[in-house]
Amino acid sequence: MTGSYPFLKGHGTRNDFVLLPDHDGSVHGDLAAERVRALCDRRGGIGADGVLRVVRRDDRWFMDYRNADGSVAEMCGNGIRVFARHLVDEGLEQTGHPLLIDTRDGVKNVTVDAGADGRDGRVTVDMGVPRLLGATRVAVGERRWDAVHVDVGNPHAVAFVDDLADAGPLREAPDHDPERYPDGVNVEFVVRRGEHHVAMRVHERGSGETQACGTGACAVMVAAAEADGAGPDVDYRVDQPGGPLTIRRTEGGRVLMTGPAVIVARGTTDL
């Protein structure tokens, strides 16, 4: 496309995104991978871990999410909180009642708390029922770890380690089973901090190591709760470099993720 168009910049626990309002789908259409890469470029573009296109489909909003490398992703936990925050800030939806937001992983139920001034409340997302899919392995260089395969709409490999520094700088994607993960996998390295309290680092497929990952935090909580034998309705605190999230698994196995979401800038671009 040519010409300038509006954008917003937001983040959830410092996992940051470029938002492209495109309510009738006429401005951006099918986002080209090279344009997503240009927008996410931290030197020559706006800079982000991914792009959220905001589209209205019939009676619902659709979150068209792309990773920083331009690849399409099924779901983004931090991204959907920022997406919902944008809808509320613009008066397109209201706080205090569930929003139904469509994603490639189905419709998600999202609630934005009003907060002190109506703009700083936390956002809770019903992420559905994750699936524990057995043992796997991941590796960085010569180091290898057992991991747990967890599907949260997108694939995760959760490895419990002795120290978060063990994986090194994570400049490249950790090695993984290509037959189990033909399209790549998000890899979480996790340490325990206390009862129902863990900390993690993540390498996201298509984006690299990020400050936070919402679906990753949910996968980590499920893996930790399963290992702990924890029952339903127990809050886990999941610390990430960008800040903590609160994750709860319900009696029915659904996972609720709660955390902040902030819009920090808006403007126009011709990238």
pLDDT at 115: 62
Query: Per-residue pLDDT for 121 more than 80?
Result: no
Question: How sure is the predictor about 124, in pLDDT bands with cuts at 50, 70 and 90?
Answer: very high
**Residues 243, 183 within the same domain:** yes
Query: Per-residue pLDDT for 117 more than 80?
Result: no
Enter the pTM of the model. 0.92
In this predicted model, what pLDDT tens digit does every residue of 64-97 receive, in sequence order? 999 999 999 999 999 999 999 999 999 999 887 8
Point out the least confidently predicted range of 11-15, 115-119, 187-191, 196-200: 115-119
Q: What is the tally of structural domains in the chain?
A: 2
Other CB atoms within 10 Å distance of the CB of residue 27: 15
Task: Report the run of H or E that residue 8 belongs to, with start and end.
Answer: strand 5-12
| Rounded percentage of the chain residues whose pLDDT exceeds 70 | 97
Among residues 76, 84, 152, 202, which one is catalytic?
76
**Residues 240, 161 within the same domain:** yes
**Residues 146, 245 within the same domain:** yes
67 appears as a binding residue in the annotation: yes
User: What is the chain's mean pLDDT, rounded?
Assistant: 93
- Per the annotation, the verdict on 218 as an active-site residue is no
77 appears as a binding residue in the annotation: yes
* Residue 63's CATH number: 3.10.310.10
**Residues 147, 89 within the same domain:** no
pLDDT at 2: 60
Task: Report the run of H or E that residue 14 belongs to, with start and end.
Answer: none
**Residues 103, 151 within the same domain:** no
Q: Which residue type sits at 20?
A: L
**Residues 106, 37 within the same domain:** yes
**Residues 83, 193 within the same domain:** no
**Residues 113, 154 within the same domain:** no
Once rounded to an integer, what is the mean pLDDT over residues 168-188?
Answer: 94
Alpha helices in the chain (DSSP H): 33-40, 77-89, 214-228
225: left (phi over 0), alpha (psi -120 to 50) or beta: alpha
Distance between CA atoms of residues 37 and 71, nearest Å? 9
109 appears as a binding residue in the annotation: no
Q: Which residue type sits at 215?
A: T
Point out the least confidently predicted range of 42-46, 110-114, 219-223: 110-114
Once rounded to an integer, what is the mean pLDDT over residues 97-108?
Answer: 94
Burial 116-145 (b: 16+ CB within 10 A, else e): eeeeebbbbbbbbebeeeeebebebeeeeb
In this predicted model, what pLDDT tens digit does every residue of 203-229 receive, in sequence order? 999 999 999 999 999 999 999 999 999
Among residues 185, 213, 218, 219, which one is catalytic?
213
**Residues 243, 137 within the same domain:** yes
**Residues 245, 151 within the same domain:** yes
Query: Per-residue pLDDT for 239 more than 90?
Result: yes
Structural domain harbouring 225: 131-253
pLDDT at 116: 47
215 appears as a binding residue in the annotation: yes
**Residues 120, 163 within the same domain:** no
**Residues 143, 95 within the same domain:** no
